[in-house]
Amino acid sequence: MFVHTGAQRIGEMAVDSGNVHTLPAYSLFDAGGGYRLRLGDGRALTLGANVTNLANKKYWTYYQENYLQPGSPRTLSLNTRYDF
């Protein structure tokens, strides 16, 4: 069994050449885990899950002229790996 976590902090970002207007800073937290099943003869099956943006934080990642790019919402991903 395995578990992993991650954190990311993004500071304020200027959106104009004079640095008068900024996008606010934000923090994101991720977590995941999984389990590895050994099947014998060097074979294994790994099952896992990951969640990004655990707190479902609303944030802006990019600005250009009159366009703001929203950040990704909370996202769950599942994965499977087979080693033979």
Nearest to residue 50, comparing CAs of 9, 10, 2? 2
According to the model, what pLDDT value does residue 63 have? 85
What is the reported pLDDT for 80? 98
Series of mean pLDDT values for 10-residue runs along the chain (84 residues): 98 88 95 97 97 97 87 98 96
Domain boundaries, the chain: 2-83
Identify the CA nearest to 28 among candidates 8, 44, 14: 8
Predicted local confidence at residue 23, as pLDDT = 92
pLDDT at 26: 97
For tokens 């590895």, the residue is: 36
